[in-house]
Structure 1
Amino acid sequence: MKFQQRSTPDAVEVRLMGRLEFTDHDRLHDIVGLLEITRARGFVVDLSGLEFIDSAGLGMLLILQEEAESRNVKLTVRGAQGDVRRSIDLARIGEIITIDS
């Protein structure tokens, strides 16, 4: 998985690309690091460039939610498509994390 970061006055936006799998757990620390330094009240994870997500990747989204919540930052996931969207829907992640279509 690769990611790009963009900051606006209201939010930090992170665009994930490729595949989000168990082997990407170390990269999660880099993304959590962005949460630690942000002063914005929002954190957007853009999945439009993601081709695949496994169960560990879904778990990483939940970890991001917990980290954001502990810092009073609103996490929003957007842009999930195809198999990635189906995986998120099947796992009912939308009951825990705000998912924008």
Structure 2
Amino acid sequence: MDYGIEDKDQETVVRLRGRLTFNDHGKLRALIREMLQTKAKRQVLDLSALEFVDSAGIGMLLIAREEMSNVDKLLILRAAAGQVKRVLTVAQLNKIVAIED
């Protein structure tokens, strides 16, 4: 997994690329620390370039949501497609995390 961060006035947008798996745990933890440092209350994970996510990746997204919630920030998952969208749907993540098309 790779990512790029763009700070806007009202939100921080993080574009995830590649695959989000158990092997990315360290990278995602570092990303969460970066997101916690931004001023924006809305933290958006743009998943449009994410090709694959496994169950460990879903767990890491839930950790990110909890970390953001602990500091009164909103985590939003945006633009999931293909396998990633199917996994988010099957896991019913929309009941826990805000998901935008």
TM-score (norm 2): 0.97
Summarize deviations over 1:52-96 as a string: whole Å, max 9, x none.
000000011100100010010011100100110000000011100
> Unaligned 5+ residue runs, structure 2?
none
Task: Kindly report which structure 2 residues correspond to 1:28-67, keeping only aligned pairs within 5 A, or say none.
Answer: 28-67=28-67
* Contact 1:25–1:60 (CA under 8 A) maintained in structure 2: yes
**Which runs of 5 or more structure 1 residues have no equivalent in the other structure?**
none
Deviation beyond 6 Å, 4+ runs, structure 1 = none
Tell me, yes or no, if structure 1 residue 82 matches structure 2 residue 67.
no
Partner of residue 70, structure 2: 70
Q: State the SS of the aligned residue for 1:56.
A: helix
Q: Once the two structures are aligned, what percentage of the paired residues are identical? A: 40
CA distance in 2, matches of 1:7, 1:32: 14
Q: How many residue pairs align between the two structures?
A: 101
CA positional deviation for 1:9: 1.2
State the Cα distance separating 1:33 from its structure 2 match: 1.1
State the one-letter code of the partner of 1:30. Answer: A
Q: What's the Cα RMSD here?
A: 0.7
**If the length of structure 1 is used for normalisation, what is the TM-score?**
0.97
Q: Secondary structure at the match of 2:85?
A: helix
User: What CA distance in whole angstroms lies between the structure 1 residues aligned with 2:35 and 2:51?
Assistant: 24
SS of equivalent to 2:50: strand
2-structure distance, mates of 1:29, 1:62:
12
In the alignment, is residue 94 of structure 1 matched against residue 73 of structure 2?
no
